[in-house]
C-alpha cells in the first residue's frame, strides 16, 4: 500500500485489496485498484512539474477521478484547493489569482474560460501505467495540505488552511458518536468542494469503509444510490432532506445515521424525518473545525430537537462574553471551540487569523448557549452571513454587484427564513426610477454565482442608518418582514 493510504488509515488497520473502496453508478473500485490509480496519477502529476508544497486548485463535481486526484496530489505532499463549481468564471479566476495556485486541475465536463495564466491540467487522463517507476515523496501530515475557501462575514472569501492531521483527528472524534467499521458505506451526498463533503472521503478511508458516489447530487440520483447501494451513513443539509421527504422517500434499514447540518435546526423537519424512520443526527461545525464538532442524536434529539448536542471526542465548547471571558451561567454568548481538528489560519490574512484563533481556540462568531446538561444551542450563525441550502453567502459581496447597477442608489442584503432552503438571500434596494426586480436579477446573472442572487428583492424609499451613516441591516430586515406578513 502506498504512503497516502498508510497515512490515512487508522493505526494497524489492514485493508484487503479486493474490498470495495469507491462505488459509483457505473463501477466499483477496490482498495488495490485505488492504490494503483493513485500511484499512476501521482507519477503523471510529477512528470508535469507538480512537486512538494505546490498549490493545485481543483475544479470538479463529485466523481471518482476527484478522489484519485486528491489522494495523488497528497502523495506528492502538494496542497489541494477545491473550488466551488457553482462560482462564475470571474469568481474562480479571482480565487485562483488570490491563492497563488501553481496549477489548476479541471474536469473535462467543466467548460471554463478562466482569465488567469496558470498551467491547466484536464482530467480524467490516461495514466493506467506507471510513468516514472520512482519513489514519491509522500505526504507530511503536519504540512498544510488543504486550502478551502469559505465566505467570510466581512469582505472576500477566506482560505481556511488545514493539514491532513486535522481531517484525520476530526474523523477520530466522530468515532465517539458512531464507531465506523470496514463494513460501513458512506454516501458522498455533499459537494467535495465543501468541508462536509471532503471530510466524508477522509473519514471513509480512515476506517477502511466504502465511499458511494452517486451520479449527481440531484434527488433522483441520491434515491438511486440508496436503492442500489444501501449506504449505512450519509450527511445532508436541510434543503436536501426536505426535498427527499417531499418525494415520499424513506430510508432503508441499513442507514444507521443521517447527519444533518449546514444551517439552522428546523424542528418540524427533524420531527418529520424521525417519523419517516431517519436516524437523524443534528451536527454543528464549520470549515475551520474540519466539519462537525458536536452532535445530537438518539433520545436526546427527540427531547431537544433544536440542540446540536454535545462536543465529540477531544472537542470542547465554551460560551464567552464580549471580552472573551468564559460564561458559566447558561446565558447566551459567542461560541468558542477548542479541539485537535482546528484550522491553522486563513491564507494571506494574518489579522483575521489572530482574531479568530485565541490561544489555540476558535472564536466562531456564532451566538449560542449551553444548557445545564452541556447541550449546545445555536441561536445565530456568524453575524450577517447567510446560509442557504448549505451554501454560505456574504451579503457584502452581493451588495457590491447590486450597487453596480446605475439605477440602484443603495442596497442591503439579508437572510429570510425559508422552509425549503433554511434561509434565502433577500435584498432591499433604494432605486432612482422605476423598480423592476426581474431587471435586477437579469443584471446579476453571470456576474455572481446563481445561489447568491437574491430570491426576493424589495424596494424601500430609504434605509434606517446609524449616526455614522451605516445601514442597519437587522432593522432593514425587520422592516421587510413586517411588509410581507
Q: Answer whether residue 32 is part of any domain.
A: yes
422: CATH = 3.30.300.30
- Distances from the Cα of 79 to the Cα of 54, 72, 143, 402, angstroms: 6, 11, 9, 35
Give pTM, 2 decimals.
0.88
Which pLDDT value is given to residue 420? 87
Whole-Å CA distances, 180 to 99, 257, 441: 35, 11, 46
Q: Are strands 376-380 and 386-388 parallel, antiparallel or unpaired?
A: unpaired
Same domain? For 7 and 118 the reply is: yes
Q: What is the distance between the alpha carbons of residues 379 and 391, in angstroms, rounded to a whole number?
A: 18
Domain count, the chain: 3
pLDDT at res. 15: 66
Mean pLDDT (10-residue bins), the chain, 485 residues? 82 78 95 92 94 97 97 97 94 96 97 94 76 76 96 71 98 92 96 96 96 96 96 93 93 94 82 94 96 95 95 96 89 94 97 92 93 92 81 87 93 92 94 94 95 96 79 91 87
Residue 286 and residue 150 in contact, taking contact as beta carbons nearer than 8 Å = yes
- Assigned domain for 4 exists: yes
Q: Is residue 114 located within the same domain as residue 219?
A: no
Last residue of a domain, one of 343, 368, 383: 383
Range of the domain at 470: 387-483
Q: 272 and 132, same structural domain? A: no
CB atoms within 10 A of CB 220: 11
- Co-location of 378 and 397 in the same domain: no
| Residue 124 preceded by cis peptide, ω within 30 | yes
In a domain, 315, yes or no: yes
| Domain co-membership, 1 together with 81 | yes
| Whole-Å CA distances, 324 to 111, 318, 400 | 47, 10, 32
At 252 the pLDDT is 87
* Any domain includes 183: yes
Contact between 57 and 81 (Cβ < 8 Å): yes
Q: Is residue 151 part of a domain?
A: no
Distance CA 390, CA 392 (A): 7
Same domain? For 322 and 427 the reply is no
pLDDT of residue 118: 96
Report yes or no on 159 lying in a domain. Answer: no
| Confidence at residue 216, expressed as pLDDT on a 0 to 100 scale | 96
CATH number for the domain that contains residue 90: 3.40.50.980
Q: 376 and 395, same structural domain? A: no
Among the candidates 383, 412, 428, a domain finishes at: 383
Q: What's the chain's length in residues?
A: 485
Q: Is residue 237 part of a domain?
A: yes
Q: What is the CATH number of the domain that holds 262?
A: 3.40.50.12780
Mark which of 338, 353, 383 sits at the end of a domain. Answer: 383
Same domain? 451 vs 333: no
> What was the pLDDT predicted at 382?
67
The pLDDT assigned to 265 comes to 73
Residues 236 and 118 in one domain: no
Mark whether 69 and 123 lie in a shared domain. yes
| Residue at 78 is within a domain | yes
What is the rounded CA–CA span in Å between residue 107 and residue 87? 15
Of 389, 20, 60, 37, give the one whose Cα is nearest residue 231: 20
Q: Are residues 103 and 204 in the same domain?
A: no
Task: Clarify whether residues 368 and 453 are in a common domain.
Answer: no
Residues 6+ apart with CB under 8 A from 84: 149, 191, 193, 194, 449
Amino acid at each position: 500500500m502506498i504512503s497516502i493510504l498508510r497515512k490515512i488509515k487508522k493505526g494497524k488497520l489492514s485493508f484487503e485489496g479486493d474490498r470495495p473502496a469507491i462505488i459509483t453508478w457505473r463501477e466499483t473500485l477496490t482498495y488495490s485498484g485505488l492504490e494503483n490509480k493513485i500511484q499512476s496519477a501521482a507519477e503523471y502529476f510529477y512528470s508535469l512539474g507538480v512537486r512538494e508544497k505546490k498549490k493545485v486548485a481543483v475544479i470538479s463535481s463529485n466523481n471518482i477521478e476527484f478522489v484519485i486526484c486528491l489522494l495523488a496530489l497528497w502523495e506528492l505532499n502538494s496542497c489541494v484547493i477545491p473550488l466551488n463549481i457553482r462560482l462564475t468564471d470571474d469568481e474562480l479566476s479571482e480565487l485562483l489569482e488570490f491563492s497563488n495556485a501553481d496549477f489548476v486541475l479541471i474536469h473535462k465536463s467543466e467548460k471554463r474560460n478562466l482569465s488567469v495564466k496558470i498551467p491547466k491540467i484536464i482530467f480524467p487522463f490516461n495514466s493506467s501505467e506507471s510513468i516514472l517507476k520512482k519513489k514519491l515523496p509522500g505526504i507530511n501530515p503536519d504540512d498544510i495540505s488543504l486550502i478551502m475557501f469559505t465566505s467570510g462575514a466581512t469582505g472576500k472569501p477566506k482560505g481556511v488552511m488545514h493539514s491532513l492531521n486535522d481531517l484525520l483527528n476530526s474523523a477520530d472524534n466522530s468515532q465517539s458518536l458512531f464507531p465506523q467499521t470496514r463494513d460501513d458505506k458512506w454516501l458522498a451526498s455533499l459537494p467535495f468542494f465543501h468541508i462536509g463533503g471532503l471530510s466524508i472521503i477522509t473519514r471513509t478511508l480512515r476506517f477502511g469503509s466504502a465511499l458511494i458516489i452517486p451520479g449527481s447530487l440531484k434527488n433522483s440520483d441520491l434515491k438511486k444510490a440508496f436503492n442500489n447501494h444501501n449506504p449505512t451513513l450519509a450527511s445532508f443539509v436541510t434543503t436536501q432532506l426536505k426535498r427527499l421527504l417531499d418525494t415520499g422517500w424513506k430510508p432503508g434499514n441499513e442507514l444507521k445515521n443521517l447527519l444533518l447540518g449546514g444551517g439552522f435546526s428546523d424542528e418540524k423537519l427533524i420531527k418529520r424525518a424521525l417519523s419517516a424512520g431517519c436516524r437523524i443526527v443534528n451536527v454543528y461545525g464549520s470549515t475551520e473545525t474540519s466539519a462537525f464538532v458536536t452532535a445530537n442524536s438518539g433520545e436526546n434529539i427527540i427531547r431537544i430537537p433544536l440542540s446540536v448536542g454535545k462536543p465529540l471526542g477531544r472537542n470542547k465548547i465554551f460560551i464567552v462574553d464580549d471580552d472573551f471571558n468564559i460564561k458559566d451561567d447558561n446565558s447566551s454568548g459567542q461560541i468558542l471551540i477548542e479541539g485537535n481538528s482546528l484550522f491553522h489560519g486563513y491564507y494571506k490574512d494574518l489579522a483575521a487569523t489572530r482574531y479568530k484563533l485565541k490561544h489555540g481556540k476558535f472564536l466562531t462568531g456564532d451566538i449560542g448557549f449551553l444548557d445545564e446538561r452541556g447541550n449546545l444551542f445555536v441561536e445565530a450563525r456568524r453575524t450577517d452571513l447567510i446560509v442557504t441550502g448549505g451554501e454560505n453567502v456574504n451579503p457584502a459581496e452581493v451588495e457590491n454587484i447590486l450597487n453596480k447597477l446605475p439605477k440602484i442608489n443603495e442596497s442591503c442584503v439579508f437572510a429570510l427564513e425559508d422552509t425549503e432552503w433554511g434561509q434565502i438571500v433577500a435584498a432591499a434596494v433604494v432605486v432612482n426610477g422605476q423598480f423592476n426586480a426581474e431587471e435586477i436579477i437579469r443584471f446579476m446573472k453571470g456576474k455572481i454565482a446563481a445561489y447568491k442572487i437574491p430570491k426576493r428583492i424589495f424596494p424601500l424609499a430609504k434605509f434606517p442608518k446609524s449616526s455614522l451613516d451605516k445601514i442597519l441591516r437587522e432593522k432593514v430586515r425587520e422592516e421587510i418582514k413586517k411588509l410581507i406578513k
